[in-house]
């Protein structure tokens, strides 16, 4: 049975598109696939604090950001969205890169969903970038789902081309409580190979008369294993936040 909504009570049934006529406030990670991976459209929603280790990017600095996004379901198979307020808190206060995206789900057959995703990153902090990809969800049994996909990212100015191939698994411990793990393959400009690693935990609040809410915490090691420096645990990020689903007053 098809269940509508990005955050029904069971994360196993969470669909790839925001349902038509609804608005989701994104202040937490929104998926385990290319929607929330890579350098473009990456893990950039919610309150994040992390560390770029001495042998990785940044030479050993604390980083932090607070980013607010929103997604609107045009119809059940089409959504558009944005990262509208990407605020960099540390190491220096700044305004980050705004992003706009659109997704079309062209296959919805039983437990398999396949969509097309296009993302535009505006150069409000760094460089103009575009990304196109195919996110995939497979709903396994009564408690699990697998998310994956493939994406090409083109970053202008220095003309960088990245390949992002994430994969994640989510499992419902209880109908409203889930855990998830994620990894995959990231190839920045075809110069190295990175295997990220991350875990998530989330709780869905679903009460009559109030907006549906997913509270999420995520811990990621974005350069967990890479061909440049081997294992890198000193670069990490912790993200917490919530995604809230509202009905749009269309009548």
> Domain limits of the chain?
11-246
Per-residue confidence (pLDDT) for residue 209, from 0 to 100: 82
- pTM of the entire predicted model: 0.89
With residues binned 3-state (H G I as helix, E B as strand, rest as coil), the percentages for the chain, rounded to 5, are: 5, 60, 35
Task: Specify the CATH superfamily of domain 11-246.
Answer: monomeric porin ompg (2.40.160.40)
- 101-110: long-range contacts, CB 8 A cutoff, minimum separation 24: 101/35, 101/41, 102/78, 103/16, 103/17, 103/35, 103/78, 103/79, 103/135, 104/77, 104/78, 105/16, 105/17, 105/76, 105/77, 105/78, 106/77, 108/2, 108/77
Per-residue confidence (pLDDT) for residue 116, from 0 to 100: 97
CB 202 within 8 A of CB 9: no
Q: What is the pLDDT of residues 204-232, one digit of tens each?
A: 998 888 898 999 999 999 999 999 989 99
List the chain pLDDT tens, one digit each, 251 residues. 233 333 345 555 677 899 999 999 999 998 888 888 899 987 779 999 999 875 444 458 999 999 999 999 999 999 999 999 999 999 999 999 999 999 999 999 888 999 999 999 999 999 999 999 999 999 988 889 999 999 999 999 889 999 999 999 999 998 899 999 999 999 999 999 999 999 999 999 988 888 989 999 999 999 999 999 899 999 999 999 999 999 988 65
Query: How long a stretch of residues is the chain?
Result: 251
Per-residue confidence (pLDDT) for residue 5, from 0 to 100: 38
């Amino acid at each position: 049975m098809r269940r509508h909504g990005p955050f029904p009570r069971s994360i196993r049934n969470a669909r790839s598109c925001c349902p038509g006529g609804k608005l989701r406030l994104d202040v937490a990670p929104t998926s385990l696939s290319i929607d929330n991976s890579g350098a473009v459209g990456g893990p950039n929603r919610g309150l994040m604090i992390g560390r770029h280790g001495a042998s990785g990017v940044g030479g050993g600095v604390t980083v932090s950001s607070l980013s607010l996004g929103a997604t609107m379901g045009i119809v059940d198979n089409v959504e558009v969205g944005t990262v509208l307020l990407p605020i960099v808190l540390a190491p220096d206060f700044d305004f980050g890169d705004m992003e706009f995206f659109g997704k079309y789900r062209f296959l919805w057959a039983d437990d398999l969903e396949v969509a097309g995703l296009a993302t535009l990153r505006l150069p409000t902090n760094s460089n103009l970038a575009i990304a196109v990809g195919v996110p995939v969800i497979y709903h396994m049994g009564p408690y699990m789902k697998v998310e994956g996909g493939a994406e090409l990212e083109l970053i202008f100015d220095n003309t960088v081309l990245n390949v992002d191939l994430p994969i994640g698994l989510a499992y419902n411990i209880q109908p409203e409580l889930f855990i998830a793990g994620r990894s995959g393959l990231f190839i920045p400009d075809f110069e190295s190979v990175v295997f990220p690693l991350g875990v998530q935990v989330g709780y869905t609040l679903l009460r009559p008369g109030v907006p549906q809410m997913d509270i999420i915490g995520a811990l990621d090691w974005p350069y967990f294993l890479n061909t440049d420096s081997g294992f890198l645990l000193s670069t990490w990020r912790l993200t917490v936040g919530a995604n809230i689903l509202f009905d749009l007053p269309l009548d």
